[in-house]
Structure 1
Amino acid sequence: MGAKETFDIPLSERAFQLLRGKILRCEYEPGEKLKMDTLQRDLGLSSSPLREALSRLAVEGLVVSDERRGFTAAPVSLEDLREVTRLRLMLDCEALSESIDCGDDQWEANIVAAFHWLSRIEERHGEGPLTLDADWTIRHKDFHMALLAACKSRKLIRLSSALFDQSERYRRLSIRYRVEPRQKAAEHGQIMEVVLSRNKAEAVAMLHDHISRTADNVAAVLEKRSVVT
């Protein structure tokens, strides 16, 4: 059933999802030239859907398009990380504020469920490198998006999701060089409890601090290793 569903997806969408995932996971390095023959071999797709996917990713800012040089995975920089973080702070805090105002019992239940699954993965890994675990990455985003899900603006939610992915690219890159992993379970649990208590001011402040400190830690690691400028 799963395989059938995968092949039911249009080729252009498959190309977009596969290529986007590889760029976000830094399987294609920031600044790496995305050669069509290499992409065709790696992804098993023809040039037409790949070109469409590359154009869509250029609009997202994950790919850079140049008439002479073709396509490259977007480079990384402290300036870009700060811009992504600034936008996340604006949009995610606004979305959380509205979610607390509008969220119902189902919204609360979804947050608890998302935190449960995230916590189970962290328990399974113990002190291991969970930050590179694909399941943890998915559950981590699920938790953050569950917090914002009651926001009435679908466009705001889509933008928050895209910005989360862009910040995730930086985080995954920093994990390669981080000596001491930062365990976030306690932070996520505290955010959940305050959100569920409907203390909007404290919840927004905690989310703001959580996003800011994550970005600061990532920037410090990448700058120390001269990965970003």
Structure 2
Amino acid sequence: METSVFKRTNFIGAQQISPSLYNLTIGLTLCWGFFVNWLMMMTIPVESLYAIDHRLFFIGYFLCCMAGSFILNRSENPLISFFGYNLIVVPFGLVLNVVVSQFDSALVLEAMRVTGEITFVMMLLGSMYPAFFQGIGRALFFALLITLVVQLAEVFIFHKSHPLTDWAVALIFSGYIGYDWARANAIPKTLDNAIDSAAALYLDIINLFLRILRILSRR
């Protein structure tokens, strides 16, 4: 069995669906994740999250995300994959709750709007130029790796954070949206693949949102 949804280039036997239903499933799965995140931010007091030991919080966060990724990559059952997707959505929702609480609501709404616009444009470009976006995966990976190393050095060695790194990460994740969207439409169009692809896009979009929020807050 393949270890990544985007390596499932051969049709194994699951029932394929139409391109429109496939893309609709990706969109609905993404909307579900964002709705769960919004619901968590509206109903979970951020004070209760601060009360949790930060070590236990991050251990639980990484364990849930790793379990969700494992289920998504291993399962070809859409219901099981959807469960794995939620194992990623919920811990990210807790982190979003903590982060968003530090910013003004108008700024958060502006960051959401900008993220939505960029996501739409990058998905459109990914549909128009799939070959280009499928070919930049390695460049995006190394660019992100280098940027994160630079950012860690700035924080732990120089004790500062340069705004250019936020712009770089935002640009990289914008590219990842087009990249993952192009890859999502290059694999067999099944319900399970749609859910797994939505999980990858969800991570791209959330990371882009967080960076845009930081960029806007610097104003």
Query: TM-score, normalised to structure 1's length?
Result: 0.29
Normalized per residue, the structure richer in helix is 2
State the structure with bigger RCO (CA 8 A, min sep 6), 1 or 2: 2
| Larger Rg over CA atoms | 1
